[in-house]
Amino acid sequence: MTPLAAGATGLAAGIHCATWGMFKDAPFEGFTWRTYVRSPIVATLIALALTQLAPLDFPTGAAGVVVLWGVTYGFERALVEIYKTFLREQDQSKYTIPMQFAVKGKVLESRPLRLVAGAAYLALGILVLTGVHLLQERGPELPHVLAIFLVASPGGWISAFGGAWKDAPIEGFHTFKFFRSPAMTFGFGFLLSLLTGQYVFVLMGAIGYTVASIETYKTFFFPNKKRGKFQGKMPTHPELLRSRWRFVPVFVAVWLGVLGFAIAAFMGR
């Protein structure tokens, strides 16, 4: 894949992330272009690094775009969430559910301890990626469905346990919500496995498409429903409840582009 195509794919993934994030948060936190362009810049750099520096090859044509979009999305979300949870210093009083690393709903105030927790979380992610790669390189021959279940599900379980750790002390435990991510990562992982044989891409792409789908549903199918982290809070920038809709056309355009490439990729198999 050329750097131009890779950069455009990463940019589209980043704009998608930034738009649903802005849509749900801006009425409570305000809007700045500096925050909005963060994900597009990070995602573009990730896509370029994956295609120009990574030792694993992406498929060609439309399939390559579909796989790269999901993989880039997965890595971007992982890196941004690690930054917001373990590294960023921010006033948490504006949130009902803390966004920094918390234990039983209470923020861990010690920055060194948060850094240690973040390092452990990052190590877990690297361990999962390494395990998935070793399964492909040195593991036994497995039935395709079982292999994809073992490859795609870990990302969903990490998301499920992380979400429960953060949300359950405040909102309570929701069984459907807990099992939703593992089920969806398996489904998206199976579809991606038809386009690429690289297990690492299947894992990260499944995470990316799962996050993109869940956030689209929660954000735009229920636009007036407050997220858990803002429950009980009043919008501090109510004017953005209307102006935020100006960004929706570009969000829809990105989805249509991804779906168009997906149709072309599967038809071309």
Residues with Cβ within 8 Å of residue 193, at least 6 apart in sequence: 144, 148, 151, 152, 202
| pLDDT average, residue stretch 239-264 | 96
CA atoms within 13 A on the CB side of 71: 31
Q: Binning pLDDT at 50, 70 and 90, where does residue 224 land?
A: confident
Q: Binning pLDDT at 50, 70 and 90, where does residue 51 land?
A: very high
What pLDDT was estimated at residue 155? 80
Which is nearest to 205 in space by CA: 120, 127, 132, 138? 132
* Burial (Cβ within 10 Å: 0-12, 13-18, ≥19) of residue 204: buried
Residues with Cβ within 8 Å of residue 38, at least 6 apart in sequence: 18, 80
| pLDDT average, residue stretch 93-98 | 76
What pLDDT was estimated at residue 165? 67
Are 51 and 6 within 8 A, CB to CB?
yes
pLDDT at 11 over 90: yes
pLDDT at 59 over 70: yes
pLDDT at 50 over 80: yes
pTM: 0.90
pLDDT digits 0-9 by tens, 227-236: 777 777 889 9
Whether the CA torsion 88, 111, 113, 28 is positive or negative: it is negative
**Radius of gyration of the chain measured on its C-alpha atoms:** 19
pLDDT at 112 over 80: yes
Are 162 and 148 within 8 A, CB to CB?
no
Q: Binning pLDDT at 50, 70 and 90, where does residue 168 land?
A: low
Average pLDDT, the chain: 89
Quick one: angle between helices 199-220 and 3-29, nearest 10? 30
Q: Binning pLDDT at 50, 70 and 90, where does residue 242 land?
A: very high
SS (H, E, C) 5-50: HHHHHHHHHHHHHHHHHHHHHHHHHCCCHHHHCHHHHHHHHHHHHH
pLDDT at 82 over 70: yes
Taking the C-alpha atoms of residue 143 and residue 111, their distance in angstroms, rounded to an integer, is 45
What pLDDT was estimated at residue 172? 67
Which is nearest to 26 in space by CA: 212, 159, 219? 219
Are 72 and 207 within 8 A, CB to CB?
no
What pLDDT was estimated at residue 95? 77
pLDDT at 212 over 90: yes
| pLDDT average, residue stretch 29-44 | 94
Domain segments of the chain as ranges: 3-267
What pLDDT was estimated at residue 167? 67
Taking the C-alpha atoms of residue 203 and residue 128, their distance in angstroms, rounded to an integer, is 9
What pLDDT was estimated at residue 169? 65
Higher local confidence (pLDDT), 51 or 139: 51
Of all residues in the chain, the percent with pLDDT exceeding 70 is 96
